[in-house]
Chain A
């Protein structure tokens, strides 16, 4: 972002919410920061990256200005605390993290590829498991419906209500149970793999990606659990798969390609060289 873009955006964010004189004052101050930064031999991009986004600056300025209407409201300590935390989360969602080099970040296309490969791998494993687990049911259902009727509710803890109706809904409800089990398993698998290999999954390994913690430490089991099972698995299932779509889109539009699960576990996905250099920093 160059000086003009930065100042224009800042002006837009402030106009109408502060007196004109104050806005001019702020703009001249920030123009000053750019002018001085240039004298120190910095580029506009570096300077604006150091300052932060105009939207965030505007918010801070408005919070501090006494005549801002938002400040007229008296907040309790509790509310202030919540506001502070919310805006911090918001900042984290919007602002790129300085400790990550944008050039090392994996592209969203590659990450999607890894996600699909993982899905396929785990699908094969999962279906194998399923077949083994439900083999008795598969065989009996075609041979003797009565056996099925007696077998299912007890073995799988399902209510009798699921067994009312003809063979088709019965088959359908079984598929749902299988699907949920499969999903749960696959996310548990990726959780364990991510934790045990410190940042990989089959798909990620094949495509040369690695999950790293922002603080450079090892991915802990809790991180992996939060990232893979709770967010990508459970929360995503509850929201009918929308969450992962949001993640993908959010990853595409934010500068450091963070997804919801990245935010939750404080991780980023980097592109690494599988064969030689790994990633030097981590």
Chain B
């Protein structure tokens, strides 16, 4: 798959997950890898860093109850939400167009 496209899609997936609840890196990674097993660990972290850099999410540290090292949680910002919604709209439009094209090919 085209890497640019894939990056965009993964970024959208991460934003969707974050808009549901705050999460830490590893948790997001495991979730994404359930759907895209070929995604390498680092790329999710790279996406998280980019999202943070663009101001779509912010981080805060939170101790875990069992007493291990504290985790870095990601929280989506307002801008992140707006961007996420725009991305979903764009995605749906694209999927519809592609589905239309495939449907036409069948007949």
Contacts and interface: CB of A to CB of B under 8 A. Distances in A.
Given A35-B68, A35-B69, A64-B50, A29 B45 contact: yes
Contacts of A60: 40, 42-43, 46
Given A32-B26, A33-B26, A25 B49 contact: yes
Interface in A165-209: none
A57 interface: yes
A61 B41 contact: no
A25 B69 CA distance: 16
Interface size class of B (residues with CB under 8 A): 10 to 19
A98 B45 CA distance: 23
Find the residue from B29, B46, B50 having the highest chain A CB count within 10 A.
B46
A199 to B, nearest CB: 29
A26 interface: yes
18 contacts: A22-B49, A26-B49, A28-B72, A29-B45, A29-B48, A30-B45, A32-B25, A33-B29, A36-B26, A39-B68, A51-B40, A51-B42, A52-B40, A60-B40, A60-B42, A60-B46, A61-B42, A64-B46
Given A22-B49, A35-B68, A60-B40, 20 more contacts: A25-B49, A26-B45, A28-B72, A29-B45, A29-B48, A29-B49, A32-B24, A32-B71, A32-B72, A33-B25, A33-B26, A33-B29, A35-B69, A36-B26, A51-B40, A52-B42, A57-B42, A61-B42, A64-B43, A64-B50
